[in-house]
Amino acid sequence: MINRQIEELAHGVYDKLVDLRRHFHRHPELSYHEFNTTQRIVEELEPLGYEVHRPLETGCIAVLKGGVEADRVLALRADIDALPMEEEGDYKADFLSQVPGVAHCCGHDLHTANLLGVAHILSSLQEQIPGTVVLIFQPGEEKPPGGARLLMETGLLQRLGVQAIYGLHSYPYGQVGEVSLIKGPMMARPDEFVLKVIGKGGHAAIPQKAIDPVVISAQIITVIQSIVSRSVNPLESAVVTIGKIAGGTVCNVIPDSVIMLGTIRSFSEELSERISRQIEQTATGIANAAGASIAYELIKGYPAVVNTPWAVDALEQTAAGLPGVRAVPLAEPIMAGEDFAFYQQEFPGSYMYLGTGSPQAGSDTWNWHHPCYNTDERAMITGMCLMAALVFNPKSTQSKS
Ligand code: NI
């Protein structure tokens, strides 16, 4: 019965959400600078009866106490930041970014509007809500150290007694109406490294007087390709990629040094650290053999997104009660990173992919962070209904006591 009410309310608020999503899309703001976005969110929340907290400079946390006494505190999260890039695309021509060099090409505009929709629905149903609902409008997902980490460090969510947390991301390979779920590891930890090979510059035609860091770098890149294939258990997933290499200026000068930037993707901190040590040892050995040296730095990224099995069960069960929502299995984890993982280090819960791909919106072709990335707004009906219905499913939290 409650689900019928949720669906009606979702359809009722939908047009407003499309306007809001397009407003955020036209006025994107970079990580930790989401000032106007935050203001717009707060303006929307306060008249709905939410208690709004601002523990960081941007973003906010909205708390709604339900009318039904229950030992239950459920958190729902949206990320609100945009990317430093130019966007393109015919399908969103009416609401392209008006800010040069900043664009919502990861769908966070839709995540934000969607959670505001949930806020509207829950406000209408406040008297029937068991326990407390915490809505997290999180800044800075795209940029380390991660808004989720900063929010966790404020201790506010812990003080509010959050028992479980759920979040969603737009997903171009899922259809509208679908939500893709997976238990356990879902997204990888993206660690980065900087590797500098320090040789000795000289004339390109007199290599015997120089120590050529270009040749040494080529050897290092080739050899570290076998770290994953030879040193990692084949049943574990890991990737090592050098994404950037820079050195030298012209064809006839051997440069002093070469710098490489790389990423290590895995599902465990221990494995990532082991791979990192091996990269450093391999590079040191190759460089030393040639008379060169290295400088190496590992920059730790977000932890892996690992979903609590019972929370995924709760999502599946909730979806089954909503005629318009289909839960489908996500075939395999994705090696991209996501700072939702910081919440999961303390709270059980689950991340999910909301199908936003369709030919009508041209949103089934381009992946996250592509200039043409778009989302089918109708997916908000699915996202809102699922998140709101989750609040009424007793299995979506487990009491700590
Ligand atoms: Ni994203």
Assign residue 126 the CATH number of its domain: 3.40.630.10
Nearest to 386, CA basis, from 316, 333, 310? 316
Q: Are residues 161 and 197 in the same domain?
A: no
Tokens 């609100």 -> residue: 80
Nearest to 393, CA basis, from 320, 294, 337? 320
CB proximity list for 238: less than 8 A, separation 6 or greater = 228, 232, 264, 265, 266, 271, 272, 275
Q: Are residues 222 and 180 in the same domain?
A: no
Catalytic residue list contains 81: yes
Q: Are residues 172 and 319 in the same domain?
A: yes
Residue 338 CA to ligand 1 center (angstroms) comes to 7
Residue 289 CA to ligand 1 center (angstroms) comes to 43
- Domain residues for the domain of 250 are 189-299
Nearest to 283, CA basis, from 256, 267, 262, 300? 262
CB 104 within 8 A of CB 23: no
CB 380 within 8 A of CB 114: yes
Q: Are residues 204 and 68 in the same domain?
A: no
- Out of 240, 271, 299, a domain closes at 299
pLDDT band at 93 (very low <50, low <70, confident <90, very high): confident
Strands (E), 281-333: 293-299, 305-307, 326-329
Report pLDDT digits (tens) over 273-302.
Answer: 999 999 999 999 999 999 999 999 999 999
CA distance 180 to 102: 29
Residue 226 CA to ligand 1 center (angstroms) comes to 31
pLDDT band at 399 (very low <50, low <70, confident <90, very high): confident
pLDDT band at 400 (very low <50, low <70, confident <90, very high): low
Q: What is the DSSP string of 214-271?
A: HHHHHHHHHHHHHHHHHHS-TTS-EEEEEEEEEE-SSTTEE-SEEEEEEEEEES-HHH
pLDDT value at residue 1: 82
Find the mean pLDDT for residues 364-382: 96
CA distance 181 to 161: 26
pLDDT band at 356 (very low <50, low <70, confident <90, very high): very high
Is the pLDDT confidence value at 257 over 70? yes
Q: Would 401 be classed as within a structural domain?
A: no
3-state secondary structure of 135: strand
Find the mean pLDDT for residues 304-313: 98
State what percent of residues in the chain have pLDDT above 70: 100
Residue 106 CA to ligand 1 center (angstroms) comes to 5
- Two structure tokens written together for 357: 């791909």
CB proximity list for 162: less than 8 A, separation 6 or greater = 73, 74, 75, 134, 347
Q: How many domains does the chain have?
A: 2
| CATH number of residue 213's parent domain | 3.30.70.360
- Two structure tokens written together for 331: 């075939």
Find the mean pLDDT for residues 371-398: 97
The catalytic position among 29, 44, 81, 339 is 81
C-alpha torsion 393→394→400→401, nearest 10: 170
- Two structure tokens written together for 84: 């430093």
Report pLDDT digits (tens) over 137-169.
Answer: 999 999 989 999 999 999 999 999 999 999 999
The catalytic position among 34, 44, 141, 142 is 141
- Out of 243, 277, 299, a domain closes at 299
Q: Are residues 179 and 200 in the same domain?
A: no
Find the mean pLDDT for residues 96-124: 97
- Out of 299, 329, 344, a domain closes at 299
Q: Minimum mean pLDDT among 87-96, 191-200, 281-290, 320-329: which range?
A: 87-96
Terminal Cα-to-Cα distance of the chain (whole angstroms) = 30
pLDDT band at 401 (very low <50, low <70, confident <90, very high): low
Average pLDDT of every residue of the chain: 96
Residue 150 CA to ligand 1 center (angstroms) comes to 17
